[in-house]
Structure 1
Amino acid sequence: MAKQRNTKLEALLTEFGYTHQQLSDEINRTAEAMYSSTAQCTDRHVRRWIAGDVQWPWSRYLLPLQEVFGRSPEAMGFVPRRSSRIPGPPKRSAVGKERPPVRRREFIAVSLAATLGIDAIPAAGRLGASDAERIHAIVPALYRHDHALGGGALHAVAEEALQRVHVALNHCTYGARVERQLYAATGDLAASAGWFAYDAGRQKSATGLYNEALQAGMLAQDGMLQARVWSNLAMQARLLGRDAEALRVGRAAVETRQARTDPWLMALLHCRQAVGYARTGDRVHAERSLARAEGAYDRGKGDPPAWLTFFTPAELTGLAGAAHQALGQHKRAHELTSAALGMLDPHFERNRAYYTVQSAQSLLDCGEVEHAATEAGHAAAMGQRVQSDRVQEKLNGLRKRMRSHADVPAVADFLEQTRRPGA
């Protein structure tokens, strides 16, 4: 077989923020946790895998690679030979140490902090349009990792970048035109940092960042940014159980001029309003909002901004499933959620975990307890690979509900597999 570059593995390194050396270090660390001995992997091994010189690594590398990326060997671009087989997990001795969870957050933080370009932002002197563009470029770089890793891996990095921007804003000079650009870029970063904090379960921090983003949006006269923050504040209110407030805030976002002129934003806002109406039992308004969301989405043209790249047809369908679930229409909710999972790009690992929990919830409500337990197990495995407090809280809620079915073997297995040490 002719040598072929492993573009899938190369893309995973970019997605997860690894250099060749960092990935080899992570493989060795993971192997030591699994086998109590290092795999002796080097950056040369990684380069050879990407170049296609080695199409199926040895088992001592393959298992740690599966653990690091949460992918099958084929999904990482490796090609099995006839004699190749996927190795099973290592057997642990009764006295062996518990395997610590593999943590990517530290590696992502280090690599991103070095590549975001914030070191190039002046701390003194005069700022120009290129500096505002440099700050704007931070957000797409962060969101490229958010979909796969979750906000827990990124909120600290985003807040560190925001602090560096604050220094520039307060100690540099700039003209009126650049000032508006800087505030728009800073607000974009603050709103993104707020989202990451929200996803990480740091609600107090998220609220402060959202308020900063709103202020920056007003100073920049950026209505789109303000509508975006109102939408996120509505989501936060809903998470905290303040459904009526969430609807009021969401309505304010829907009525902005920017929402009325941007179909992508309008579709998202109507989807979120639909879930809010459903949670308050208002079926008529929920269904009306879903219809408006679909109509607005069909009018969308071009590419959405970085913060909206998650809003795909899969997300539209998944949110519709959430609305039907809240309305008690569990069969329809499961149909929509399953369809969303079928459409979801593999890159959106956090959303896949989130909607897999939603699928398990709808199955449980339909009385399909064993199927729900199986789905919940898949969600729990995915949840370990993302840093998202929202996913974990949703999974914890499902776990509590399943305790009443502990006499079902599949549920008992799920509860045991997800039992916390010492619980």
Structure 2
Amino acid sequence: MLLTEFGYTHAQLADEVNRVADDEFGESANCTDRHVRRRISGYVRRPWPRYLRLLEHIFGRSPQEMGFVLCTLTPPPFAPSKPTPAKEQRSVHRRTFIAASLATALGTEQTPQRGRLGMSDVDRIQTTITRLDAHFNGLGGDALVDVATDYLARLQRALDHCTYGERVGRALTRAVADVAACAGWSAHDCGDYARADQFRNQALQAALLTRAPVAVTRAWSDLAAQAEHAGRPGQAARINRAALAERHLRAQPLITALLHARLADCLAQTGDTAGMGRQLAAAERAYDRADDTVTAPSWLAFLTPAELTGLGAIAHQSAGQYARAEQQTAQALDLLDVRFTRNRSYYTVLRAELQLAQGHREQAAETVSHVPVSGVASSRIAARLERVTEAAHHGQEGRP
């Protein structure tokens, strides 16, 4: 046994893991003797890459030699065909370490993989999903996409290998739909649209299996957003209209408001500005019907008055009404809650793009200087920020 061979107790090995992590990555792995016992007992066969890398460093053994099964996020056990530059390699290790730390913080590693599951397990899973949604809404999807992908695989293994009753089975399948939807938006935030499309189709399949109307509507709405981004606003509009025709939406004013607002943008892109206006008005009416005393689903927490105003700005942008869109974007930023750092970055970049489209380069340059980038993890927003900053400072005008 490696502990005996190297003379470590459980607590000593945990301390060594944290020391090496601090040396390599500049922060502790938050490893405890409990983590060590779980891995030695065989309860955890697929540890996160940060632990594998650190344990490989400490013991000089491969994951297989230590009795581990390679997890989804673990790189292949062979050398790349081309040497990886040291700076790039460190960056990859850093991203992997951040994702692993995030998984620990969100509790995704705690999903049971065998035995009988009950509603208490479902409650813990739902708490984890709420944390996933809150992280995406607050900071973005770059680090979250790998965490959500791995958590999705864990939930699917639980469905395949655990035992449970019918009620728990439906709840687990609904959880798969929710996590796949979160993974889809996280991949979208990374600019990986093909992967986002796969996740969204997976969410729809799980939602249909569990026969949960809200989950099905959410999945259709996300696929509509995917079609719109791919340059198919007509298809996106048809999907949104079909979703709005569902009877259950009479009791779901927030989802109804979101669908109307997204449909408005689709219509703006097809040149139907009158239809855009009607849909934005319908979105506001639906939102006004929402009961403030009822807690919204965690994935809908972003849909505040600020976001509804911002969605209106996006629709007016698509219609070429840049001055109106800029006015609404400024209003959205004034209303936006401090916890939505990602969306503040998004709408600040959007405001700069709209200013640039109107030829106001100095204003755009001033606006981008206020984009809150600290802690935001969105490759898509970062790419847009880079483009608008370059254009603002070098006079490259154009439509956002």
CA RMSD of aligned residues (A): 3.0
Matching of residues 138-217 of structure 1 within 5 Å: 138-217=128-207
Residue 127 of structure 1 pairs with residue 117 of structure 2: yes
- Does the 8 Å CA contact 2:201/2:223 hold for their aligned counterparts? no
Q: Which amino acid aligns with 1:195?
A: W
Residue 283 of structure 1 pairs with residue 273 of structure 2: yes
| Secondary structure in 2 matching 1:173 | coil
| Separation of aligned partners in 1, 2:390 and 2:327 | 24
Q: Which of 366, 370, 386 lines up with 1:374 in the alignment? A: 366
Note closer, same or farther for the CA distance 1:133–1:365 as it changes in structure 2 (3 Å cut): same
Gaps of 5+ in 1: 1-20, 31-40, 44-96, 409-423
Residue 242 of structure 1 pairs with residue 232 of structure 2: yes
Q: Which of 298, 305, 308 lines up with 1:313 in the alignment? A: 305
Deviates more, 1:144-153 or 1:292-301: 144-153
Note closer, same or farther for the CA distance 1:25–1:267 as it changes in structure 2 (3 Å cut): farther
Could you tell me the percent identity over the aligned residues?
A: 44
Note closer, same or farther for the CA distance 1:349–1:117 as it changes in structure 2 (3 Å cut): closer
| Displacement after TM superposition at 1:105 (Å) | 5.0
Residue 358 of structure 1 pairs with residue 350 of structure 2: yes
Q: Which amino acid aligns with 1:323?
A: A
- Does the 8 Å CA contact 1:133/1:185 hold for their aligned counterparts? no
- Does the 8 Å CA contact 2:139/2:376 hold for their aligned counterparts? yes
| Separation of aligned partners in 1, 2:234 and 2:393 | 31
Gaps of 5+ in 2: 1-17, 31-86
| Separation of aligned partners in 2, 1:241 and 1:372 | 26
Note closer, same or farther for the CA distance 1:162–1:101 as it changes in structure 2 (3 Å cut): closer
Note closer, same or farther for the CA distance 1:377–1:249 as it changes in structure 2 (3 Å cut): same
Which residue does the alignment assign to 1:333? 325
| Separation of aligned partners in 2, 1:110 and 1:277 | 41
Post-superposition CA distance 1:141-166 (Å, at most 9, x none): 11222233210010101111111111
| Displacement after TM superposition at 1:224 (Å) | 0.3
| Separation of aligned partners in 2, 1:364 and 1:271 | 25
Q: Which amino acid aligns with 1:158?
A: A
Matching of residues 245-264 of structure 1 within 5 Å: 245-264=235-254
Which residue does the alignment assign to 2:258? 268
TM-score, normalised by the number of residues in structure 1: 0.68
| Displacement after TM superposition at 1:404 (Å) | 6.7
Q: Which amino acid aligns with 2:296?
A: P
| Separation of aligned partners in 2, 1:274 and 1:203 | 22
Q: Which amino acid aligns with 1:371?
A: Q
Q: Which amino acid aligns with 1:124?
A: R
Note closer, same or farther for the CA distance 1:390–1:235 as it changes in structure 2 (3 Å cut): farther
| Separation of aligned partners in 2, 1:201 and 1:364 | 23
Note closer, same or farther for the CA distance 1:254–1:401 as it changes in structure 2 (3 Å cut): farther
Q: Which amino acid aligns with 2:359?
A: G
Deviates more, 1:120-129 or 1:246-255: 120-129
| Displacement after TM superposition at 1:110 (Å) | 2.7
- Does the 8 Å CA contact 1:188/1:225 hold for their aligned counterparts? yes
TM-score, normalised by the number of residues in structure 2: 0.72
| Separation of aligned partners in 2, 1:219 and 1:150 | 29
Post-superposition CA distance 1:248-297 (Å, at most 9, x none): 22222222233332001001111111111112211011000000000011
- Does the 8 Å CA contact 1:152/1:197 hold for their aligned counterparts? yes
Post-superposition CA distance 1:65-110 (Å, at most 9, x none): xxxxxxxxxxxxxxxxxxxxxxxxxxxxxxxx9xx99998556523
- Does the 8 Å CA contact 1:254/1:260 hold for their aligned counterparts? no
Deviates more, 1:369-378 or 1:152-161: 369-378
Q: Which of 347, 360, 375 lines up with 2:339 in the alignment? A: 347
- Does the 8 Å CA contact 1:135/1:186 hold for their aligned counterparts? no
| Separation of aligned partners in 2, 1:398 and 1:103 | 30
Which residue does the alignment assign to 1:66? none
| Displacement after TM superposition at 1:205 (Å) | 1.8
